[in-house]
Amino acid sequence: MSILKIENLSKTYPNGVKALDNVSIEITNGMFGLLGPNGAGKSSLMRTLATLQEADSGSAFLDDINIFQEPEELRKVLGYLPQEFGVYPRITAEQLLDHMCVLKGITKKSERKEMVTYLLDKVNLYDKRNKSVKGFSGGMKQRVGIAQALIGNPKLIIVDEPTAGLDPGERNRFYNLLADVGQEVIVILSTHIVDDVRELCTNMAIMNLGNLVFQGAPQTAIDELKGKVYQKIISRGELEEYGKNFPIISNKMVGGQPLIHVFSESNPGSGFEQVAPNLEDVFFSKINTQNVIV
C-alpha cells in the first residue's frame, strides 16, 4: 500500500493570492475526493503534487520519494489527468497513446503495443482505436485521458475536475472506470461536484480559500449534521431577511422559489422542517463559514 504524506504546504502567487495555506494531509490507496468551490486551491494543490509548480514551503512524500527534491522519480509513478486535457487532433487514439508511452519511457515497440491495446480495452475504446481523436465526444476524450494517466502502472493518479461538461451517461461510465482503477492505487479526485465524491470516494477533504476545512469519511461528515439541518421554501423577497436571522447553509430554486437549508441545534420554528443531511449540506456548511461553524 502506498502513502502520500503532505505536510505544511503553502503557496502564494505573485499577485498575492494565497492558494495553499499550511495544508497537511495523509492519503492511502483508494479513491480520495478533494472537494471545494472554484478558487478554493484544489488545482493549485494538484499542480504542486504533479510537480508542475513549486510550493513556497512544506513537504510531500509518496512512500520514500521526496516529491519536490526528486520530481523525476515521482513522474515515473504518476498518472495525471488535468482539468484541460489537450489532445493532438489529427492522430488516432492508438497513435496518441503510443506517443504518450514513448514520453513515459517505454521504448520497446512490442511493449508499447501491448500496453496501448490493454489501455484501449480498459477504457472501452479499442473499437475506436483507429479513429481520429478530434471526432471523439467529451466523454471519449476523458477516457483517453484516463488511459494515458494509467501508462506505466502508476502509484498515484491525479484527476482534476474530470466530469465537468460530461453528460449523465458519460459521467456514469467515467465513475465506473475510476472506481475500478481506485482499488489498487491512490486516486485523488479533485472536483467541485458533490455527487462525484459521494458516489466514488470513501475518504475526502474539503478545501476553501487555500485551507483544508474538513478531512474524513463522507458518511462521518454527514453524521455530524444529523438532527441539525432544517429546510423551508420561502419567497425571493424574504431571502435577505432570513439570511440575517438564520444560519443558512444553502439555498436553491424549487418551482421558482428558494428552498433554504439552515443549521440549527434545535427546531428554529417558523415553519421549518427537519431533513436528513446530505453531502451537499456538509459541503456548504464547511465553506459558508460566515454563517455556520460545525
- Which tens digit of pLDDT belongs to each residue from 18-44? 999 999 999 999 999 999 888 899 989
pLDDT of 138 > 50? The answer is yes
Whether residue 293 is contained in a domain is answered as: no
Q: Are residues 51 and 178 in the same domain?
A: yes
> Among 179, 197, 217, which residue terminates a domain?
217
pLDDT score for 87: 67
Q: Are residues 164 and 251 in the same domain?
A: no
Cα–Cα distances (Å) from 69 to 5, 66, 103, 133, 229, in that order, read 14, 5, 21, 36, 46
Q: Are residues 212 and 94 in the same domain?
A: yes
Sheet containing 156-160, strands listed edge to edge, beginning at the edge strand earlier in sequence: 78-81, 156-160, 186-191, 30-35, 203-208, 211-216
Here the cell at position 72 is: 523525476
Whether residue 239 is contained in a domain is answered as: yes
Q: Are residues 90 and 140 in the same domain?
A: yes
Q: Are residues 86 and 101 in the same domain?
A: yes
Q: Are residues 131 and 261 in the same domain?
A: no
> Among 169, 189, 217, which residue terminates a domain?
217
Whether residue 158 is contained in a domain is answered as: yes
Among 25-34, 36-45, 52-61, 168-177, the least confident range: 168-177
Closest by alpha carbon to 197, among 286, 134, 121?
A: 286
Q: Are residues 56 and 157 in the same domain?
A: yes
Whether residue 120 is contained in a domain is answered as: yes
pLDDT of 291 > 70? The answer is no
Mean pLDDT to the nearest integer, 96-106: 90
φ, ψ (nearest 5 deg) of residue 63: 55, -120
Q: Are residues 186 and 244 in the same domain?
A: no
Q: Are residues 273 and 155 in the same domain?
A: no
Q: For residue 254, what are the domain limits?
A: 223-287
Whether the Cβ atoms of residue 259 and residue 253 lie closer than 8 Å to each other: yes
Q: Are residues 232 and 213 in the same domain?
A: no
Number of domains in the chain: 2
Q: Are residues 201 and 236 in the same domain?
A: no
User: What pTM was estimated for this model as a whole?
Assistant: 0.85
Whether residue 292 is contained in a domain is answered as: no
Q: Are residues 53 and 11 in the same domain?
A: yes
